[in-house]
Amino acid sequence: MDAVLYTAAVYVVLILLVRMTGKRTLAQVTTMDFIVLLIVGEATQQVLLGEDYSLTQVGLVVGTLLALERLTDYLGWRFPRFGALTDSIPLVLVQDGELLDKVMAKEQISKDDILSAARTTQGLERMDQIKWAVLETTGSISVVPKSNALPQA
């Protein structure tokens, strides 16, 4: 019964803290957001397993992590140079149908990954139909078709 009560209490604390820090969809979660989420899980694990009964400590740890995450987001928004340090930047993978091999190798992105994104998002079939393919900060690939790049009927 204690495990159920502690789990419910941790859930309420997490809901309150997440509501106070704002909303984000999973598509907007950055790598740092994901890491903070993992740390939050580790911090709450002790209470959920009954090894540490201090809900106050878990609330303090999780609250501090979320506050630091929001502060980092704010500073990155307010000061672009700070944002460049804490977040990744979009990277061009394809320019005018030509693969940028050095960038692709560094990011471990294949031609098939780009073509898959082009088919899924734009209905494109060939590399020469792509004006730009960009690896976004979220890890997704955005594809901008050439103006005459509509697929053949």
Q: Return d(Cα 41, Cα 29) in angstroms, integer.
A: 16
153 in a domain, yes or no?
no
Band of the pLDDT at 110, cuts 50, 70, 90? very high
Q: Return d(Cα 59, Cα 17) in angstroms, integer.
A: 8
Task: Look at residues 70, 86, 102 and tell me which one is the last residue of a structural domain.
Answer: 86
| Greater model confidence, 74 or 21 | 74
In angstroms, the first-to-last Cα distance of the chain is 64
| Structural domains counted in the chain | 2
127 in a domain, yes or no?
yes
CATH number of the domain residue 139 falls in: 3.30.240.20
Q: CA distances (Å), 47 to each of 2, 18, 30, in order?
A: 10, 18, 27
132 in a domain, yes or no?
yes
pTM of the predicted model over 0.85: no
Are 95 and 82 in the same domain? no
Task: Look at residues 86, 114, 137 and tell me which one is the last residue of a structural domain.
Answer: 86
69 in a domain, yes or no?
yes
Two tokens, residue 69: 């995450």
DSSP characters for 40-51? HHHHHHHHHTTS
Determine the structural domain holding residue 109 and report its residue range: 91-145
Are 51 and 105 in the same domain? no
Give SS3 for 34: helix
Give SS3 for 11: helix
Whether the predicted pLDDT of 80 surpasses 70: yes
Are 73 and 97 in the same domain? no
| Greater model confidence, 55 or 7 | 55
Q: What is the mean pLDDT of residues 31-52?
A: 72
pLDDT of residue 96: 93
DSSP structural state of residue 150: P
Are 30 and 73 in the same domain? yes
150 in a domain, yes or no?
no
**How does pLDDT run across 116-151, given as a tens digit for each residue?**
999 999 999 999 999 999 998 778 899 999 986 555
Are 97 and 82 in the same domain? no
Task: Look at residues 47, 66, 86 and tell me which one is the last residue of a structural domain.
Answer: 86
Q: What is the mean pLDDT of residues 40-47?
A: 73
137 in a domain, yes or no?
yes
Whether the predicted pLDDT of 94 surpasses 80: yes
Are 48 and 107 in the same domain? no
